[in-house]
Amino acid sequence: MEAAMKVVVLAGGVSAEREISLASGKAVRETLRNAGHEADIVDPGSGWKVVEPHEVPLEANRTSCGLPGGEGTGLLTAADIVFNTLHGGQGEDGTVNAVLELLGVPYVGGKPAACAAAMDKATSKMLFSQAGVPTPDYILLDGWNRGLWTDSLAEAAGRFGLPLVVKPAEEGSTVGLTKVESDDQLFPAAEEAARFSRRVVVEKFIAGRELTVGVVADEALPVLEVIVPGGLYDFEAKYRSHDNKYICPAEIDPEVAEEAQKFALLAFDLLGLLDYSRIDFRLDDRGGLWCLEANNQPGMTSSSLLPKAAAVSGLELPGLLEKIIASALSRY
């Protein structure tokens, strides 16, 4: 990577994951600055201005988060590269990357269409199934209709059995996700998911172990296992709990680890992702792998899974960021 580059780190935004994004952005900025680069955080949720994460409100100013204006455009176009650490919503679904494309600004990560496909869990699962990547059975609730949703939820419970996982089709960090264990929880869970996305995925719950595989510059990282005391790696477990255990490399059969890495690379390619990603799996009691989803802009904090796995492979955060940025710059 070139010396003394000017890097704009996009962080914050207006999604439900704003707080996590600010933490990721701060980690990336500080690491790049310590490596001798000029790096600043620009927050679309603060009017596309340079911000200090600890000084901006956790609630975004939604009246100032449209397209970048004169100052915002100038900041972006002056950068050698943009590192997008926005999580969820338009920051991760390809909308912001489309703006960067229009401005002709080099950036890290997938093209807009790839980001949209990865963010949309229903689209991802369809692509996985067609390519032979195992993914849990599901139904899609599209467009609010109480009567139809009630019938569809009952159908899903009958087909797949309980428990079920109900989650927004277009949100990350398990925001709005509920593990449903009784019939009376079904509709409230769908209503909760619908707060974050017009479309809702109702999916068969796979009991087993939580695994994840990072992909950096077309190479799969070691498989990482997350052990959660409560059994569900939801938003609270990811960002509020201090009781999780992380094992990397995961203590699984080498053949299973190799298969997980193979499926992760296949999912990465199917979606058209670039530079880096993280693919989440469940390993069931019979040794079967199930691909849950792809995270095209995974977290970059000290507690985030991709940096943990990269460190095991010999890439601490400075080296990880250098490899990601070098991968992106090779396209420009």
Which residues are designated catalytic?
A: 17, 173, 239, 278, 280, 293, 295, 299
Give dist(CA 87, CA 93) in Å, integer.
9
> Is the Cβ–Cβ distance between 28 and 85 less than 8 Å?
yes
- Please state, as a whole number, how many other Cβ atoms lie within 10 Å of the Cβ of residue 142: 14
Give the H or E element holding residue 20.
helix 18-34
Residue 256 burial (CB count, 10 A)? 18
CA dihedral 289, 320, 171, 204 (to 10 degrees): 10
Task: Note if the bond before 163 is cis, omega within 30 degrees.
Answer: yes
Q: Which of 121, 282, 298, 290 is nearest to 216 (CA)?
A: 298
